[in-house]
Amino acid sequence: MIPRYTRNEMKNIWSDENKFKKFLEVEIAVCEAWNKKGIIPESALKIIKEKTYIDVKKIEEIEKKTKHDMIAFIEQISSLVGPASSYLHYGITSSDILDTSLNLILIQAGSIILDDMKKLKDVFKKQAIKYKNIPMIGRTHGIHAEPITLGFKFAGWYFEMERNIKRMEYAIEEIKVGKISGAVGTYAHLIPEIEEYVCKKFNLKTENFSTQIISRDRYAFFISTLGVISASLEKFALQVRLLQQTELSEASEPFEEGQKGSSAMPHKKNPIICERICGLARIIKNNTGVSLENVALWHERDISHSSAERIIFPESTILLDYILNLSINIFENLKIHPEKMESNIFLTNGLIFSQRILLLLCQKGMPRKDAYEIVQKNALKCYAEKKDFKIYILEDTDIRKYFTEKEIEDIFDIKWYLRYIKEIFQKIK
């Protein structure tokens, strides 16, 4: 991933140094397990543990010849321990190291993402409570519907992140497995106790059944979860973009001192951070499709998944970490324009009260079809003539025989729509 969209903590997790370090940790754990079974002498294990270290440049140099990164890794550490190298990679295959190490890295990456998500959820909680009484218009199809509050919008995002956190926790559990079962997974040159020792050491579960690899459905689930989370972040960012439109101007992302919005138009304050989130979320979502393609491999395995995974795992986790932190900053520092929210509520001259009038007419005994047609007739007049909707209701004799003028005045009160709003916020933990 290009540095522009990479945060250092996640960058370090996906570094070659960390990858080969994990290879070495698993390799040594296998040696320890064989030592406990009497296959590797204590003296050889001591040399392996004390003298091996990672030399990435050397591994890269060897790989140019071997065209195989695992063999290059084994040759590099073997050159450090002399005759004790006979016991390195004993009975195992590349995927034993690759998949077990990969899962350790994904757990590291997943933990960072999980922390990010919890921070964003806390931001939504804070903003939901802060703005729970700030009214704004709710929109469906982009058209004015009925009043909500800004806090209500934040509350919806809070609960969505709460669900995403649970999904991420489950996804991490899904890949919290190790595999040390050898070529094609039959333990032909191993014993299950080796796998049990290694997995226990790294707090992994042993894979119930593996071929030469851990089945890729686990990874597809993990990446798909990242895709769902990114879709949520795209949704939240898109909301800000919509609210920031000039015609709405109800909220806007932070615009820092010295920032420029356009090379041509000095007045522009564009929602570029939210647009960036939406753009990068598309990449993560598309990687979900790649991970699903990786599930179907030839027989006990091929490596068509390998090249793709070298891209989609670091790319998806790095980008998700990045856009999560962008989201935390945006929603923590979101610029709110309550006066514009209030004026926009009444932009349609009271048409937003049409459903309440409809239902009150039904309560009075008017058939719903008739009530709907009478209210709609007046609403269409209001659209065309741009006068206060209340005037049309007061002038309609079919409606006035059911209501006094005072009752009609009471109908046009947005507080009625928000009378249960406090109950929603009591659900926020």
Domains and CATH numbers, the chain: 3-87 (1.10.275.10), 94-187+203-253+265-344 (1.20.200.10), 351-411 (1.10.40.30)
Helix (H, G, I), strand (E, B) or coil at 73: helix
pLDDT digits (tens, 9 = 90+) for 80-117: 999 999 999 999 999 999 999 999 999 999 999 999 99
Cβ-in-10-Å burial (0-12, 13-18, 19+) of 427 comes to exposed
What pLDDT score was predicted for residue 266? Answer: 82
Which member of 141, 263, 267, 307 is catalytic?
A: 141
Question: Quick count: other Cβ atoms within 10 Å of Cβ 221?
Answer: 18
Q: Is the pTM of this model over 0.75?
A: yes
Backbone φ and ψ for 249, nearest 5 degrees, come out as 50, 40
Kindly write down the DSSP assignment for every residue of 204-256, as one continuous string. Answer: -EEPSS-SSS--THHHHHHHHHHHHHHHHHHHHHHHHHHHTSTTT-SEE----
Strands 143-149 and 177-178: unpaired
pLDDT digits (tens, 9 = 90+) for 151-185: 999 999 999 999 999 999 999 999 999 999 999 99
Where does 298-393 show beta strands of DSSP type E? 335-336
CB 257 within 8 A of CB 324: no
Average pLDDT, the chain: 95
pLDDT digits (tens, 9 = 90+) for 188-216: 999 999 999 999 999 999 999 999 899 99
Nearest to 421 by CA among 128, 141, 159, 126: 128
Q: Look up 141 and say whether it is catalytic.
A: yes
Q: What percent of the chain has pLDDT over 70?
A: 100
- What contacts 421, CB < 8 A, 6 or more positions away? 132, 133, 149, 151, 152
CB 155 within 8 A of CB 108: no
Which member of 79, 111, 262, 343 is catalytic?
A: 262
pLDDT level of residue 1 (50, 70, 90 thresholds): low
Q: Is the pLDDT of residue 70 over 70?
A: yes
Question: Quick count: other Cβ atoms within 10 Å of Cβ 346?
Answer: 16
Q: Look up 249 and say whether it is catalytic.
A: no
What pLDDT score was predicted for residue 84? Answer: 96
| Amino acid code (one letter) for 393 | I
Strand partners, 251: 336
